[in-house]
Amino acid sequence: MYPLKNLGGLSYHMCKFLSTIRCLFFKTSISAAILLFSLFFLAGSPAFGAFVCSDIPQAECDALDEFYTITNGPNWTIKTGWGTTSACSTWKGVTVTDGHVTDLKLSTNNLSGNITSINKINNLTELTYISLANNQLSGQFPTLNLSKLVTLYIHTNQLTGTIPNLSGCPNLEQLTLGVNAIEGDLSNIQNLVKLTYLGLQGNKITGSLSFLGELTSLTFVNLTGNDLTDLSLKLNDFSLLETFNININRIECVLSPYQLPKLIWKDFSYNKISPSDPSDSDLKKLININTQTIPPTNVQATDVTATSAKITWDIPPYDTTIENKYGEYNIKYSTTSPTTGPWTIAASTSNKNETESIITLAPGNTYYVVVETHTPTIEGNHDLISSTKGYATVKTPSLPVLGDVDHLNDVNLTDAILVLKILAGIGIDPGTTTIYLDADVDGNDKLGLEDLIYILRKLAGLPLP
Ligand SMILES: [Ca+2]
Ligand SMILES: [Ca+2]
């Protein structure tokens, strides 16, 4: 840059002596040269600060350079050595073995930034250990192709997107992604057959645990607080399991007893898990059955009136010897569909031991009534979970219409004639006409003169008594 600056200065002084046109031309040329040089320099420069490392290959040095830049290295709590000319083996968190970076240990060090675009990390082909836990890294964690990687700790950050593609890390044994905001299913770890330790708690993982089906080396599985819906694992295949926490999900299944001799820590609570045998007290204790959101069965409607019905149901095999405070039943109805609603909540019980509820309805309607087991939001789950099964159809009769003696065609002259016949003692053939006493206007439980007057006034459009 020095010669260019000097030339620029020289051209300014020369302008005072040389012809204006020549001078302008010269100045323009110099300016253009500076511009072109600047553009060339910018285009050719990396987005980061060109680290130089003496003890590892340049490709690995470039990877550290990119990593430092994208994770806001200048803001790291400790950044000893990074970007200096001292050997990389002395840099904070970097282990160099036989001339290659093998460990990157930078947990709890105020790393931040969106790391989606990191890709040179795959230059670190000898890496066996990465820990970036307890930082503020965000974005989709990049695809890794590190065939020697054994440990990847990236829990407690602000990562989004899916579980990273780790198919290029077949030797991975320990993976922690817990306490982030990761979505999607478990498919990206289904081929990591050497995995022994899997921490994924506190994310938004959905779908089935069946993706773990081949990972029978697992000893530790923590999936607490996700949105998983399906167990579908042959648990007996996981004979090495010591910890298996799947609590606070939406896993809907019928669990059978299993044999896992090494299993010490386990938590199945707050799901939709039923015991295969409702009388198996050990199994019920294992799944903490009163926390499970299991639908009631045998929903029925009785005592149906024009304005109400009693709804009864059989409760799941909860332990009713103690108060079941983990939620309640919502009695909901739809007037259009027994499966898709829309739903109106007609009543809620105070706990999950109750077996009946009287709901208020309107006359002359058909209702599809479901009883939903409902568990409210608890710490660690994202929102309520609920479960329904079956429904009851309720048809409420219409309210009687005063003066409509035959329950036909509202109130008309026929009703008046029928009352006249009653007053005159003329018999009415019950085979062709039914007389309904609920048409009684004045409440004396008989059809007589007051009722006739009411009917005639109504037909004449006169004010009614
Ligand atoms: Ca009538
Ligand atoms: Ca009467």
pLDDT at 2 over 60: no
Question: For residue 245, what pLDDT is reported?
Answer: 98
CATH of the domain at 389: 2.60.40.10
> At residue 127, does pLDDT exceed 50?
yes
Same domain for 162 and 311? no
Of residues 127 and 34, the one with the higher pLDDT is 127
Task: Report pLDDT for 140.
Answer: 98
Ligand 2 centroid to Cα of residue 464, in Å, is 15
Q: Does a structural domain hold residue 401? A: no
**Coil/strand/helix, residue 368:** strand
Asked if residue 86 and residue 201 are part of one domain, the reply reads yes
Residues 87 and 201 in one domain: yes
The pLDDT value recorded for residue 375 is: 83
**382 has pLDDT over 90:** no
Average pLDDT over the chain, rounded to an integer: 88
Q: How far is the CA of 409 from the centre of ligand 1 (A)?
A: 5
pLDDT for residue 137 is more than 70:
yes
> Do residue 286 and residue 301 come from a single domain?
no
**Per-residue pLDDT averaged across 94-121, rounded?**
97
CA of 436 to the centre of ligand 1 (A): 10
Backbone angles phi, psi at 296, to 5 degrees: -70, 165
State the distance from the centre of ligand 1 to the C-alpha of 424, rounded, in angstroms.
19
Share of the chain above pLDDT 70, in %: 88
For residue 52, being part of any structural domain is answered with no
- Of the listed ranges 15-19, 106-110, 399-403, 414-418, the least confidently predicted one is 15-19
Residue 323 is predicted with a pLDDT of: 79
Ligand closest to CA 451: 2
Q: Spell out which residues have Cβ within 5 A of ligand 2, the ion.
A: 440, 442, 444, 446, 451
Interacting residues of 179 by C-beta distance below 8 A, sequence separation 6+ = 155, 156, 157, 201, 202, 203
Residue where one domain finishes, among candidates 257, 291, 325? 291
The answer, yes or no, to whether residue 184 has pLDDT greater than 50, is yes
Closest ligand relative to 452 C-alpha: 2
- Reported as a pLDDT band with limits 50, 70 and 90, residue 6 is very low
Confirm whether 53 is domain-assigned: no
- Residue 402 Cα to ligand 1 midpoint, Å, equals 10
Cα 455 to middle of ligand 1, angstroms: 10
Domain presence at residue 164? yes
Looking at the structure, tell me whether residues 116 and 180 fall in a common domain: yes
Q: How confident is the model at residue 9 (pLDDT cuts 50, 70, 90)?
A: very low
Which residue from 325, 417, 418, 333 is spatially nearest to 368, judged by alpha carbons?
A: 333
Radius of gyration of the chain (CA): 39
Ligand nearest the Cα atom of residue 441: 2
Contact indicator for 212, 188 with CB cutoff of 8 Å: no
Residue 171 belongs to domain with CATH number: 3.80.10.10
Q: Is the pLDDT of residue 14 over 70?
A: no
Q: Return the minimum-mean-pLDDT range out of 37-41, 269-273, 283-287.
A: 37-41
The CA 403 to ligand 1 mean position distance, Å, reads 7
Residues 328 and 262 in one domain: no
| Gap from CA of 308 to ligand 1 centroid (Å) | 26
What pLDDT is stored for residue 115 in this prediction? 97
pLDDT higher than 50, residue 21: no
Give the distance (Å) from ligand 1 centre to CA of residue 77. Answer: 88
- Residue 51, in any domain of the structure: no
The Å distance, Cα 439 to ligand 1 centre, comes to 9
End position of a domain, from candidates 231, 263, 291: 291
Enter the pTM of the model. 0.77
Measured in Å, residue 447 CA sits from the centre of ligand 2 at 4
Counting ligands in written order, the one closest to the CA of 446 is 2
Claim to verify: residue 308 and residue 282 sit in the same structural domain: no
421 alpha carbon to ligand 2 midpoint, in Å?
14
- Here the tokens at position 293 are 């959101």
- What is the distance in A from the centroid of ligand 2 to the CA of 431? 23
Are 388 and 431 part of one and the same domain? Answer: no
The verdict on 359 and 430 lying in the same domain is no
Distance (Å, whole) CA 405 – CA 411: 8
Q: What is the DSSP letter of 102?
A: E
Q: Which of 412, 462, 463, 460 is nearest to 439 (CA)?
A: 412
Neighbours of ion ligand 1 (CB under 5 A): 404, 406, 408-409, 415
**Residue 465 lies inside a defined structural domain of this protein:** no
pLDDT at position 49 is: 57
Q: What is the pLDDT of residue 381?
A: 55
Ligand nearest to the CA of 433: 1
**What is the per-residue pLDDT across 47-91, written as a single tens digit (0 to 9) for each?**
455 788 889 999 999 999 999 999 999 999 999 999 898 999 999
Q: Give the end-to-end CA distance of the chain in Å, rounded to a whole number.
A: 107
The pLDDT assigned to 389 comes to: 79
- The verdict on 438 and 421 lying in the same domain is yes
In a domain, 262, yes or no: yes
Band of pLDDT at residue 379, cut at 50, 70 and 90: low
Ligand 1 midpoint to CA 419 (Å): 11
Say how many domains are in the chain: 4
- The predicted pLDDT at position 198 comes to 98
Residue 40's pLDDT is 39
Task: Please answer whether residues 52 and 61 qualify as being in contact, where contact means their C-beta atoms are separated by less than 8 angstroms.
Answer: yes
From the CA of 302, how far away is ligand 1's center (Å)?
Answer: 29
CA distances from 299 to 293, 336, 361 (A): 16, 18, 17
The reply to whether 36 and 67 lie within a common domain is: no
Closest to 207 in 3D by CA, of 246, 169, 164, 260: 246
Residue that terminates a domain, selected from 291, 314, 333: 291
Q: Would you state the pLDDT for residue 13?
A: 39
pLDDT value, residue 259: 93
In which domain, by residue range, is 14 found? 2-44
| pLDDT (0 to 100) of residue 45 | 38
Q: Is the pLDDT of residue 43 over 50?
A: no
Q: How far is CA 242 from CA 8, 215, 219, in A?
A: 74, 14, 5
Q: What is the pLDDT of residue 400?
A: 83
Residue 355: C-alpha distances to residues 291, 294, 298, 300, 441 (Å): 17, 14, 11, 11, 39
Backbone angles phi, psi at 135, to 5 degrees: -130, -160
Residue 79 lies in a domain: yes
Is the domain of 265 the same as that of 163?
A: yes
Taking the CA of 459 as reference, the closest ligand is 1
Task: Tell me the pLDDT tens digit for each residue of 304-362.
Answer: 999 999 999 999 899 888 877 788 899 999 999 998 989 999 999 999 999 999 999 99
**Residue 89, Cβ neighbours under 10 Å: how many?**
16
pLDDT surpasses 50 at 158: yes
